[in-house]
Amino acid sequence: MSLFGWEILPFKGIGGLLAKPILFGRTRREITRQFSRAFGDAVGEVRTFRKAVWATGVCDHYIEGDLILFYDDLDRLFYLELHDVAPAHYDDVLLTGRPYGKVVADLRERGHRVVDGEAGCEVPEAGFNLTAADPEDDSLGVQSIGVFLRSPSEGVLRMSREPGVEPITEHVLVSGEGTPTVRLGQDRWELRERLGPALQSVPSYGGAAQDWYFDHGLILTFDEDERLKTLVIGYVGAKGTARFGDVRLLGRPYAEVAADLEARGVRVEPGELCGVVPEHGFTLSLLGRKNPVLPVSAVVFRR
pLDDT tens sequence for the chain (303 residues): 454 689 999 999 999 855 689 999 999 999 999 988 888 887 889 999 999 999 999 999 999 888 999 999 999 999 999 998 888 999 999 999 999 999 999 999 999 999 999 999 999 999 999 999 999 999 999 999 999 998 877 766 789 989 999 999 999 999 999 999 999 999 999 999 999 999 999 998 999 999 999 999 999 999 999 999 999 999 998 999 999 999 999 999 999 999 999 999 999 999 999 999 999 999 999 998 766 678 999 999 999
Please, what is the Cα angle at 174 between 173 and 178, to 5 degrees? 75
Backbone phi and psi for residue 274, each to the nearest 5 degrees, phi listed first: -170, 165
Closest CA to 229 of 216, 211, 245: 211
- Is 12 a domain residue? yes
**What is the C-alpha separation between 224 and 255, in angstroms, rounded?**
37
The alpha carbon of 290 is separated from its chain's Cα centroid by a whole number of angstroms, namely 17
Same domain as 130, residue 175: no
Same domain as 143, residue 199: no
Q: What pLDDT, on the 0 to 100 scale, is given for residue 207?
A: 93
149-154 long-range contacts (CB < 8 A, ≥24 apart) are 149/11, 149/24, 149/25, 149/78, 149/79, 150/11, 150/78, 150/204, 151/122, 151/124, 151/127, 152/204, 153/122, 153/124, 154/202
Same domain as 145, residue 166: no
State which of 121, 152, 183 marks the end of a domain.
Answer: 152
Assess contact for 141 and 130: CB atoms under 8 A: no
- Is 84 a domain residue? yes
Same domain as 263, residue 219: yes
Closest CA to 71 of 206, 238, 230, 209: 206
Q: Indicate which CATH number applies to the domain containing 240.
A: 2.60.460
Same domain as 210, residue 143: no
Closest CA to 19 of 46, 42, 37, 41: 37
What is Dmax (Cα atoms) for the chain?
Answer: 66
CB atoms within 10 A of CB 36: 11
Same domain as 188, residue 137: no
Assess contact for 142 and 85: CB atoms under 8 A: no
State which of 129, 152, 175 marks the end of a domain.
Answer: 152
- Is 1 a domain residue? no
Closest CA to 38 of 57, 59, 73, 14: 14
In the chain, how many H helices and how many E strands?
A: 4, 25
- Is 133 a domain residue? yes
Same domain as 117, residue 19: yes
**What is the C-alpha separation between 193 and 110, in angstroms, rounded?**
51
CB atoms within 10 A of CB 173: 23
Q: Which domain holds residue 193?
A: 155-303
* Antiparallel, parallel or unpaired: β 88-90 and 218-222: unpaired
Same domain as 250, residue 128: no
The residues pairing with 148 across neighbouring beta strands, listed in sequence order, are: 79
Same domain as 171, residue 138: no
The DSSP code for 263 is H
Q: What pLDDT, on the 0 to 100 scale, is given for residue 18?
A: 58
Q: What pLDDT, on the 0 to 100 scale, is given for residue 19?
A: 66
Same domain as 165, residue 102: no
- Is 33 a domain residue? yes
Q: How many domains does the chain have?
A: 2
**What is the C-alpha separation between 299 and 290, in angstroms, rounded?**
15
**What is the C-alpha separation between 138 and 140, in angstroms, rounded?**
5
Q: What pLDDT, on the 0 to 100 scale, is given for residue 4?
A: 61
Please, what is the Cα angle at 147 between 14 and 199, to 5 degrees? 155
Same domain as 142, residue 59: yes
Q: What pLDDT, on the 0 to 100 scale, is given for residue 1?
A: 45
